[in-house]
Structure 1
């Protein structure tokens, strides 16, 4: 449970860092103004991410009007899917009903697209 919370927090940190230092990621933020959240079912664990003015802000609580929400069955499932090396883990999670998505699917696709910018750089 703590690992999942830490992962959601770290995701926010990587997004903030990308917004400052990564020109490709910065392009993805241009013109965006919305909030989304990642959580466990029933919002036992929840973190909001607010994209506005080419910046990312994050808080460890629910947002009043997220444009989309990705709910994982539980913290263990969320951790496993978000850290999986399998490119199909997310889709499989949806098919197996371990992930429930609500809201704007085009923004969910945007989020999946930016995930490639959020992987820590490998040290050479």
Structure 2
């Protein structure tokens, strides 16, 4: 469970860094106002607030998140969120119900695009 909690905390820091260092990311969140949470089936996790161009997270649960990712347990959440083949792992978790998504799917898709800002960019090969 500790790895899962640490990963969620790190997600906040990575998103904040992307907003601060990438003008495209800053523009992407500028006018967005959304609260979402990522948790386990037992309720452990964090909720995230995107408001006024800033991203914050808090322990516990939000009273009214726009959407919620609920993982079967912390280990599963850590595995899915840190997977190198993230899309396939994410879809498999949905299919097997190791991950259940509830809420506004338009905001879920918005979040998926936000996460793209923290993905490592492929190095361009240069010819000499």
Structure-2-length-normalised TM-score: 0.88
1:50 aligned partner = 49
> Secondary structure of the residue that 1:118 maps to in structure 2?
coil
Distance (whole Å) between structure 1 residues aligned to residue 19 and residue 35 of structure 2: 15
Moved over 3 A (4+): 119-122
Task: Kindly provide the CA deviation profile for residues 19-46 of structure 1, in whole angstroms up to 9, marking residues without a partner as x.
Answer: 2111121122021111000000131x11
Q: Does 1:35 align with 2:46?
A: no
Paired residues in the alignment total: 122
> Secondary structure of the residue that 1:3 maps to in structure 2?
helix
1:79 aligned partner = 78
> Secondary structure of the residue that 2:62 maps to in structure 1?
coil
Which is greater in Rg?
A: 2
- State the Cα RMSD in Å: 1.7
